[in-house]
Structure 1
Amino acid sequence: MLFAPDTEDVLEFNAAILNTVAGASRSGDDELSTRDQLSTLMAESGFSGRFDRDDAELDAMRAARARLREIWTLDRDDMIVPINELLARLNAVPRLERHDGIDWHVHATSQEAPLADRFLVEAAMALIDVVRSNETSRLRHCAAFDCEGMLVDLSRNGSKRFCSVRCGNRMNMVAFRERRAADPVG
C-alpha cells in the first residue's frame, strides 16, 4: 500500500470524476452533465455529507472537476500553490472522524459544506500525501493516444499505463495490427 486507505479511496474517486469528461468516459460523452449522473457517481462512491442534487451543485462539481484536472498532472513542486490555495480558500481544518462503518480517517470540512468544496478539499488532502511521498508520477494521463483519461497508479511497481482495461485492450489491438501490417507474411 502506497498511501493510507482513505487517501487511496479519495484518489480513485477523483480519477473516476476526472474521467467523466468527454473523451475519457466510457460513452465518449460528458458523463457529469446531469443531476442523475452526479447522483449515481455519489451513490457509488460512498462520499458522505450534504448532497443538494440541484443544478447549482452540478455546475459547482463540473467546475471542481475542471480545477482538479488542471492540478492532477502538474509537476510536484507546481502542485503546491494550487493545493495550498484550495485548502486556504475553503477553510480546511483537518480532523479525524469515524462514521458509517469506516474506521478513523481525515475530514477537513464540515459535512454540511457544499459538495464541490468537500470534493476539492478531500482531493487536496489526498494530493498532500502524494506530494509528501514524492509519488506524483503515479498521477498521469492515460497512455492511449485517443483518450483524455487520467489515472492513479496504485500498483506496486508503478507500471499502470491506461485508465481502464478498455483502453489497454484497444492499444494492444492497435499494436498487434501495426505489427501484422509491418510483417504480412508472419
Structure 2
Amino acid sequence: MHFAPDTEESLAFAVALGNTVAGASRSGADELATTAELDALLTRYRYSGRIDHDGDELSRVRSTRARLRQVWLLPRDEAVLAVNSMLEDAAALPRLVRHDDFDWHLHATSPDAPLDERMRVEVALALVDVLRSDEMHRLRACGAPDCEGLLLDLSRNGSKHYCSVRCGNRMNMVAFRERAGG
C-alpha cells in the first residue's frame, strides 16, 4: 500500500512518537521524558515553524502522543470522529506548501502554531487519506504480547505483525523454542 509521501512521513512520525512510551520503546522506558529527547525526535522528523524547546511544549507533545496512540487503534468510524475533532480544534485550513527540500505537501496550521498542534493536524491529515482509502487495518498494535508498540503496515499484502525487527526476532525465537520442545 502506498500513500502520498507526506502522508507516509506523517504516519511514520506518528508511529515513532507513539513508540516512545514505556512498554513500546526500545529501552522499555519513556523515551520522551526530556526536551533533549524531543529535540532528538525532531532531528529525525523535521518540523518547520515554531519550536519552543521548553517543558510546557514537551508536556503538550506528550499529551498529543497519548491522543495519537488512542486514535491509531480506533475502529474506522470512531477514528473519523477523532480526526475531525483534531482538525476542528486547530481550525485547520489545508493548503499546499513547498519548503526546504520538501516537494508540495499539505499544511493546515500557521507556522506559529504550537508544535503539538501542528503534529496533531499533520497526522490527522495523513489519517484522512488512510480513512478515505479504507485502510485503517494497516494501523495497528504490535503482535508481540509483551509489546505496546504501534505499527504502520505499508506492505503489499498487509501482513506485517510486529512493530520492529527486534519484536519479530524475539517472537520467532519463542516460536522456535516451542516447536523444539523447550
The TM-score, its normalising length taken from structure 1, stands at: 0.96
What fraction of aligned residue pairs are identical, expressed as a percent?
A: 59
Structure 2: distance between partners of 1:37 and 1:177: 37
| Structural mapping, 1:11-160, within 5 Å | 11-160=11-160
In 1, Cα distance between equivalents of 2:47 and 2:89:
21
Tell me the matched-pair count. Answer: 182
Residues 37-91 of structure 1, C-alpha deviations (whole Å, 9 max, x = no match): 0000001112222110000000000000001111111111111111111111111
Q: Which amino acid aligns with 1:177?
A: R
Quick check: which has more Rg, 1 or 2? 1
SS of 2:170's equivalent? helix
* 1:27 Cα offset (Å): 0.2
CA distance in 2, matches of 1:144, 1:48: 35
Unaligned runs of 5+ in 1: none
Gaps of 5+ in 2: none
Q: Distance in 1 between matches of 2:62 and 2:143?
A: 24
Please give the alpha-carbon distance, in whole angstroms, between the structure 2 residues aligned to 1:162 and 1:50: 34
Between the aligned partners of 2:50 and 2:43, the Cα distance in structure 1 is: 12
Q: How far, CA to CA, are the matches of 1:90 and 1:82 in structure 2?
A: 13
Q: Which residue of 2 aligns with 1:169?
A: 169
User: In the aligned structure 1, how far is the partner of 2:22 from the partner of 2:53?
Assistant: 22
Q: Which residue of 2 aligns with 1:7?
A: 7
| Deviation for aligned residue 1:131 | 0.2
Query: How far 1:167 moved relative to its partner?
Result: 0.3
Q: Runs of 4 or more off by more than 4 Å in structure 1?
A: none
Q: Match of 1:140, SS? A: strand
